[in-house]
Structure 1
Amino acid sequence: MKIAIDAMGGDNAPDAIVAGTVLAARENPAVTLVLVGDENAIKRCLGQDAPRNIEVVHTTEVIEAEDEPVRAVRRKKDASMVVAARMVKEGQADGVVSAGNTGALMAAGLLVVGRIRDIDRPALASVWPTMGGKAMLVLDVGANMDAEANHLYQYALMANVYAKVVLGMPEPRIGLLNVGSEPGKGDKLRKEAYGLLENGPFRFAGNIEAREALNDRCDVLVADGFTGNNMLKLIEGFGLGLFDQLKRIFLANTLSKLAAAVLKPGLTAFKKRFDYTEYGGAPLLGIDGAVIKAHGSSNDRAFQMAITQAIRFLDGNVLEQIRTDLTKTTETV
């Protein structure tokens, strides 16, 4: 197994990316990890004691956060992200992991790696923690702003496989994000999608309201990219604001500081439950290769977990299982 790593993508590249790759390489000695990017910068970060299962491929360009995604992928042929994606397309690597420009990675997945046959549109999936401490897979969180009912059905089909293989859920409950829990609720898209999902080859949990999404009502939450992305950003913003307010309250005076000291173990455990570094990256499902988007501000631990997610994706033959389920569905129809 060989995985290409975009060493130059992300807020903390290349230092955190290389450090996370080293951690993953030592934990998975049978997997070859290829750091793609500026060779001098990468070797400076690697130092003298680099694991033997790390290779370096030199590139001369970088896709920046402010670059227009499609234009950057087409024009910057020697960008670290583009070269890493091309390695997957040409069979030189089995997957790619990047913490860089999300739009550019999606464009590279589509334009360079290509889609799985019979998948109309890929979906960006994200693992969210729930109040009960379990993980929930949510898609699409931004790959496509517009969607049709059959796209949401395909999202559910792919997510069902991913949740089983990578997240270890024996029989994932698939929910549809909607404005009400009763059948027949929602707009035309949600109504049509409900009809497809309730007859799908997976365990359909029905409509899920946003206020119930984090209360362990489902294991996979399906949405169009516009809705999913807005919900993701709302939760991220609320979480950051919540912890900031708690910090202000507990540091307000001596009495509150004493209370904080007593509550610290519980608060630390609560914060860790919602720590993105423990959940790895977001897979771009529907692309004909393992394409994992790590958080843009990933530290070494977060990036290590994103690589681990790519390894599980490949070990579990997720792509083959998705193709098999697609074939069964097509034959049934």
Structure 2
Amino acid sequence: MKPIVVDAFGGDHAPKEIILGAFLAAKEFNLDIVLVGKRHEIEKSIEIISKDFSSNLAQRITIKDAPTVITMFDKPSVAVRKRNSSMHVGMELVKHDEASAFISAGNSGAVMAIAMMVLGKLKGVSRPAIGALLPTINGSVLLLDAGANVDCKPIHLLEFSIMGSVFIKHMLGIQKPKIGLISNGSEPGKGNSLVIKSYDLIKSSALNFYGNIEGNEIFSDKVDVAVCDGFVGNIILKTSESVPSIIGEFLKAQISKSLVYKIGYLLSKPAFRMLKKKTDYAEFGGAPLLGVNGACIVSHGRSKAYAIKNAILKAAKFASLDINTKIEEAIEKCSALKYIQRGVENAI
């Protein structure tokens, strides 16, 4: 496999934690990594970090110089003009087949915009989307779109459903992923105009469509892919990310009030550790940018080494399974169902 490109200057803890994550991935998964960013600063960090690893491992880490950093405050329209940024230079490596995948914990809007410009869209895809894996009772659910497209049409939600189904089938091994459409009611006919039209469209496809799901059903294992526009998806994502920390703070405050509570906490500590691990975004590594012509993973801005390591693993698996080719094939197959004959011309 060609190397995985990592934006060494994306995220709150760049470059040290990003580089450490690259070393961990190279060691654990036997992968080659290209770190993109300011060469001098990367070299200084590598000099310190590599002391804890074998000299042979350091040979699996190479550097691609990129003097400009895209900040979290840069608008996408500004970011795309920074041609010598770590994001832009890194994606160019993927575009020219010098690397298998690209990862960044930086500005997600900038990643999306630069990916659209440099990598382009997959054949048949009109709107790439961010897919966020969220924990459920017994597994996980792919939330799609998690923030790339705040305004959508029914045809876009059908595309998200197809891409999500392919991703889950091959990445998680679920042969017939169930697709759920997020709405304010489970009955057909509930929801706004977008949801109502999308319901009929997705139902008429060959996908394993479960139907509408409400917000309280997203984490219940009823579906494998939860589909919505990026406005709704991003609110769900940000809200769900805040819940574990709020519960943790609440428990800390209550436990400190009673000796009995403290003893109970000590006895239950393994269970709390398991809960924390299951709900920790670092376990998922990052969110795939589905629909762009290249493997691209967007990691959380707060990602540290462990999260970056897992993102690299996800990117490597995405590339090795050739998910993008499978998405194109699924889109093409669905296109053969004759959208226009099913009255979809107004949805495009």
TM interval, short-chain normalised = over 0.9
Q: Is 2:37 aligned against 1:32?
A: no
SS of residue matched to 1:291: strand
Structure 1 letter corresponding to 2:202: L
SS of residue matched to 1:128: strand
CA positional deviation for 1:88: 1.7
What residue number does 2:87 align with? 81
Query: What per-residue deviation string (whole Å, max 9, x for no partner) do you get for residues 198-237 of structure 1?
Result: 1222211110000111111101100100011111112122
Structure 2 letter corresponding to 1:96: F
Query: Aligned equivalents of 1:43 and 1:11: distance in 2?
Result: 19
Query: What per-residue deviation string (whole Å, max 9, x for no partner) do you get for residues 222-268 of structure 1?
Result: 01000111111121222221111111111224332222112211111
Runs of 4+ in structure 1 over 6 Å off: none
| Contact 2:244 2:276 (8 Å CA) reproduced | no
| Contact 1:177 1:223 (8 Å CA) reproduced | yes
CA positional deviation for 1:108: 0.9
Q: Is 2:334 aligned against 1:329?
A: yes
SS of residue matched to 1:236: helix
Query: Aligned equivalents of 2:166 and 2:287: distance in 1?
Result: 15
What residue number does 2:74 align with? 67
Counterpart selection for 1:241 from 238, 246, 254 = 246
Query: What per-residue deviation string (whole Å, max 9, x for no partner) do you get for residues 160-209 of structure 1?
Result: 11101112222211110011111111111111111111122221111000
What residue number does 1:101 align with? 107
CA distance 1:199–1:51, change in 2 (3 Å): farther
What residue number does 1:9 align with? 10
CA positional deviation for 1:52: 2.3
Q: Is 2:124 aligned against 1:118?
A: yes
Q: Which stretch has the larger CA shift, 195-204 or 147-156?
A: 195-204
Q: Is 2:42 aligned against 1:42?
A: yes
| Contact 1:95 1:290 (8 Å CA) reproduced | yes
Structure 2 letter corresponding to 1:6: D
Paired residues for 1:97-246 under 5 Å:
97-130=103-136, 132-246=137-251
Structure 2 letter corresponding to 1:39: R
Query: Aligned equivalents of 1:140 and 1:116: distance in 2?
Result: 16
| Contact 1:165 1:312 (8 Å CA) reproduced | no
Query: Aligned equivalents of 2:97 and 2:278: distance in 1?
Result: 37
Query: Aligned equivalents of 1:329 and 1:133: distance in 2?
Result: 30
Structure 2 letter corresponding to 1:35: L
Query: Aligned equivalents of 1:15 and 1:292: distance in 2?
Result: 19
Q: Which stretch has the larger CA shift, 142-151 or 161-170?
A: 161-170
Q: Which stretch has the larger CA shift, 36-45 or 288-297?
A: 36-45
Query: Aligned equivalents of 2:143 and 2:202: distance in 1?
Result: 15
List alignment gaps of at least 5 residues for structure 1.
Answer: none
What residue number does 1:18 align with? 19
List alignment gaps of at least 5 residues for structure 2.
Answer: 339-348
- Alignment RMSD: 1.3
SS of residue matched to 2:267: helix
Query: What per-residue deviation string (whole Å, max 9, x for no partner) do you get for residues 81-104 of structure 1?
Result: 111112222222221000001111
CA positional deviation for 1:28: 2.8
CA positional deviation for 1:330: 1.6
Query: Aligned equivalents of 2:267 and 2:40: distance in 1?
Result: 48
What percentage of residue pairs aligned between the two structures are identical? 38
CA positional deviation for 1:105: 0.5
Query: Aligned equivalents of 1:301 and 1:171: distance in 2?
Result: 31
What residue number does 1:313 align with? 318
CA distance 1:228–1:176, change in 2 (3 Å): same
TM-score relative to the length of structure 1? 0.96
